[in-house]
């Protein structure tokens, strides 16, 4: 069975059981507690908590998806036969309230353990035609905090008839899932194994883990299942190497033409090339922090191998075409190979420069410790793997990833402490991720800066052209900081013109309003959205001008904003500088 058939059969199966099929969300999550989307349930977090209503947004309390995921937890293992950074996850979800939980009930109601387990077993044994003799399952055995998952055990054993010796009792580490980030839905899980390989994880979200660490039983338990497509495909295609499945076959063959005798590196390149394509397609750009840093690590590792094995750049162009062909039908965003190649090329130029200087620096050290490695990373942007790759074997023989990570953490703690100090240790009055204020007075200022940010975005597009897009925004009581895509320094005249346009609109004393509507409708209004951010099904559009139709500024935005532009006061751009490749950054203030 081919990987596309598997995807299709999975979605069809659950559609027939009352599930709404929801497209994959972006790899950039709508959840500030994680850097990248790591699981299918992530886009649904707020349906589990009851903040959003699945029946309203999807027409059913049941959904199914094939989700793009990225996990860094296994990055060190990539190169073996099973580990990947980017992967696809098939999943079915239920948000409750639990209806009959009868597997014959194909309504739109929520369901729980019985239906999930019956359907998973039916899909595996009947649709995928896996012989039940190959199947084992695991259930949560319980501990001091969370009890034994007796229900799942009974369903598997007494109802489905899985013999006792094929049921594994797992502990917290293996059979309890979530939350993603520091709080959220979580619960015991039951897994399905085929020939000893775990293929499907069924999580029963009966709990909500609070930020403080406490588990609270939820009113409407939910279901969140996840099945890695690559691994499942390997099982069904009878290979024990995900790189031998039809998902990777042509890509691996192509890379092998350039590096015939290094299987491990071929696999790393196949994984990293594919993952980079998907990250870039979702709007991630290489940088020294967060998701951008993850992408930079992947790209620089690719580039290091290019140097080391003297790989021709054509390999990248050809690989992009292969990846595009394989995935564009499901993920049309990967069609943009030109942009992807451009990002890679820009990174190559930077990398050359960094490597040039970095190599000289590396050579100075007889021994590279964790601290030295961190210094090399911070100063020259050389990722850990690359330092290992480029230094002499002797110099890195005692270098451990943990030591580097410890240095990294120390550094982060210092910056966190700095941030806390800045906010005086008080709880924030306003904190939307983008807007931060410690008290009422600051909040007022921040709101003025926020509306000024919308005006700035509009003005930049007027002055520099419609290709300019918001790439990031951060606002505190002192200033706004706005990142946007543009590939050169702005001239003083352009800066002045932008500033004047904003001040002009402030003077006009225009009203600022919002309208709430379904996302689909909102997209049609031409409102600007924050590149690939994932929005809920119902969104707000803030607009400045008489009405939504003829407003000059319209953006997908959660607010808050001032009521009239005159409240902003005077607007001044303090600085325009490079932020990362192809991205400029403006800092600006408002004056009363």
Residues that bind ligand SER (CB under 6 A): 39-41, 91, 177, 201, 203, 224-226
Q: Which helix (H) or strand (E) holds 176?
A: strand 176-177
- Segments of 433-582 assigned E as strands: 436-437, 470-475, 480-485, 512-518, 538-544, 553-556, 570-580
Nearer to ligand SER, 203 or 323 (CB): 203
Nearer to ligand SER, 114 or 450 (CB): 114
Q: Both tokens of residue 377?
A: 């990373």
Nearer to ligand SER, 39 or 446 (CB): 39
CB 468 within 8 A of CB 484: yes
- Cβ-based neighbours of 549, under 8 Å, separated by 6 or more: none
- Shortest distance (Å) from residue 178 CB to ligand SER: 6
Burial code of 292-308, b = ≥16 C-beta within 10 A, e = fewer? bbbbbbbbbbbbbbbee
Minimum gap (Å) between residue 18 Cβ and ligand SER: 19
End-to-end CA distance of the chain: 67
Shortest CB 519 distance to ligand SER, Å: 24
- β 480-485/470-475 pair status: antiparallel
Comparing CB distances to ligand SER, the nearer of 224 and 555 is 224
Question: Locate tokens 């559609």: which residue?
Answer: 15
Question: Is 40 or 472 the residue whose CB approaches ligand SER more closely?
Answer: 40
Nearer to ligand SER, 152 or 201 (CB): 201
Cβ-proximal residue to ligand SER, closest one: 226
Select from 374, 178, 150, 285 the least CA-distant residue to 585.
285
Smallest distance from ligand SER to CB 34, Å? 12
Q: How far apart are CA 285 and CA 293, in angstroms?
A: 8
The nearest distance, CB 538 to ligand SER, in angstroms, is: 25
Question: Backbone dihedral region of 79: left (phi > 0), alpha (psi from -120 to 50 degrees) or beta?
Answer: left
Considering the complex, what minimum distance in angstroms separates the CB of residue 63 from ligand SER?
Answer: 12
Shortest reach from residue 59's CB to ligand SER, in Å:
22
Cβ distance to ligand SER smaller for residue 128 or 227: 227
In this complex, which beta carbon is closest to ligand SER, that of residue 58 or of residue 305? 58
Quote the CA–CA distance of 589 and 453 in Å, as a whole number. 10
What is the DSSP secondary-structure string of 216-281?
A: EEEEEEEEEEEEEHHHHHHHHTT-S-GGGSTTTHHHHHHHHHH-TT-HHHHHHHHHHHHHHHHHHH
Residue 377: how many other CB atoms lie within 10 Å: 22
Looking at beta carbons only, is 170 or 226 nearer to ligand SER?
226
| Minimum separation from the CB atom of position 90 to ligand SER (A) | 9
- Give the strands of the sheet with 480-485, arranged side by side: 470-475, 480-485, 583-591, 570-580
Q: Locate all alpha helices (DSSP H) within 364-439, ordered by sequence.
A: 370-380, 384-390, 401-422
Nearest residue (CB) to ligand SER, 176 versus 542: 176
Element (H, E) at 393: none
| Coil, helix or strand at residue 187 | strand
Q: What angle do CA 392, 299, 397 make, to 5 degrees?
A: 20
CA 7, 10, 11, 13 torsion: positive or negative? positive
State the Cα–Cα distance between residues 498 and 586, nearest whole angstrom.
11
Kindly state the smallest distance separating residue 232's Cβ from ligand SER, in Å.
Answer: 13
CB of 200 vs ligand SER, minimal distance in Å: 9
Quick one: 92 or 503, whose CB is closer to ligand SER? 92
Q: Give the shortest CB-544-to-ligand SER separation in angstroms.
A: 41
Q: Quote the least distance from Cβ 104 to ligand SER, whole Å.
A: 24
Q: Give 156 or 486: the residue with its C-beta nearer to ligand SER.
A: 156
């Amino acid at each position: 069975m081919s990987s596309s058939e598997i995807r299709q059969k999975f979605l069809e199966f659950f559609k027939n059981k009352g599930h709404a099929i929801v497209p994959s969300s972006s790899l950039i999550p709508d959840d500030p507690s994680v850097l990248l989307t790591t699981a299918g349930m992530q886009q649904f977090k707020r349906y589990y908590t009851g903040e959003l209503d699945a029946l309203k947004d999807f027409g059913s309390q049941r959904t199914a998806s094939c989700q793009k995921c990225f996990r860094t937890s296994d990055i060190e293992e990539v190169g073996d036969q099973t580990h990947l950074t980017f992967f696809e996850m098939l999943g079915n979800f239920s948000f409750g309230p639990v209806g009959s939980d009868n597997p014959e009930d194909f309504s739109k109601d929520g369901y729980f353990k019985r239906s999930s387990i019956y359907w998973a077993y039916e899909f595996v044994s009947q649709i995928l035609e896996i012989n039940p003799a190959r199947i084992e399952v695991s259930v949560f055995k319980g501990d001091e905090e969370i009890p034994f998952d007796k229900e799942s055990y009974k369903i598997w054993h007494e109802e489905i008839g899985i013999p006792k010796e094929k049921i594994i009792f797992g502990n917290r580490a293996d059979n309890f899932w979530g939350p993603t980030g520091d709080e959220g839905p979580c619960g015991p899980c039951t897994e399905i194994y085929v020939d000893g390989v775990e293929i499907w994880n069924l999580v029963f979200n009966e709990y909500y883990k609070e930020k403080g660490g406490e588990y609270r039983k939820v009113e409407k338990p939910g279901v969140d299942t996840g099945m890695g497509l690559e691994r499942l495909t390997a099982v069904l295609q009878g290979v024990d190497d995900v790189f031998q499945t039809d998902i990777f076959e042509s890509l691996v063959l192509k890379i092998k033409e350039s590096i015939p005798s290094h299987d491990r590196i071929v696999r790393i390149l196949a994984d990293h090339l594919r993952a980079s394509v998907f990250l870039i397609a979702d709007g991630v750009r290489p940088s020294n922090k967060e998701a951008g840093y993850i992408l930079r690590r992947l790209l620089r590792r690719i580039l290091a191998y290019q140097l080391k094995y003297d790989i021709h750049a054509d390999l990248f162009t050809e690989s992009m075409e292969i990846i595009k062909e394989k995935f564009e039908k499901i993920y049309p965003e990967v069609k943009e190979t030109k942009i992807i190649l451009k990002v890679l090329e820009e990174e190559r130029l930077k990398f050359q420069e960094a490597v040039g200087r970095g190599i000289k620096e590396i050579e100075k050290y007889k021994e590279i410790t964790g601290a030295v490695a961190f210094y090399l990373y911070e100063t020259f942007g050389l990722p850990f793997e690359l330092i290992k790759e480029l230094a002499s074997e002797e110099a890195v023989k005692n270098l451990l990833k943990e030591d580097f990570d410890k240095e990294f953490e120390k550094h982060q703690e210092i910056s966190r402490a700095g941030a806390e100090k800045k906010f005086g240790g008080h709880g924030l009055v306003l904190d939307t991720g983008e807007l931060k204020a410690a008290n009422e007075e600051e909040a007022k200022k921040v709101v003025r800066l926020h509306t000024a940010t919308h005006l700035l975005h509009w003005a930049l597009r007027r002055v520099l052209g419609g290709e300019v897009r918001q790439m990031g925004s951060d606002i505190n009581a002192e200033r706004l900081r706005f990142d946007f895509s543009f590939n050169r320094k702005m001239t003083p005249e352009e800066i002045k013109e932008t500033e004047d346009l904003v001040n002009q609109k402030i003077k006009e004393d225009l009203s600022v309003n919002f309208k709430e509507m379904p996302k689909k409708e909102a997209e049609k209004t031409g409102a600007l959205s924050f590149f690939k951010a994932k929005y809920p099904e119902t969104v707000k559009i803030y607009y400045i001008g008489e009405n939504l139709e003829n407003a000059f500024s319209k953006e997908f935005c959660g607010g808050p904003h001032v009521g009239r532009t005159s409240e902003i006061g005077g607007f001044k751009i303090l600085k325009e500088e490079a932020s990362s490749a192809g991205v400029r950054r403006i800092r600006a203030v408002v004056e009363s």
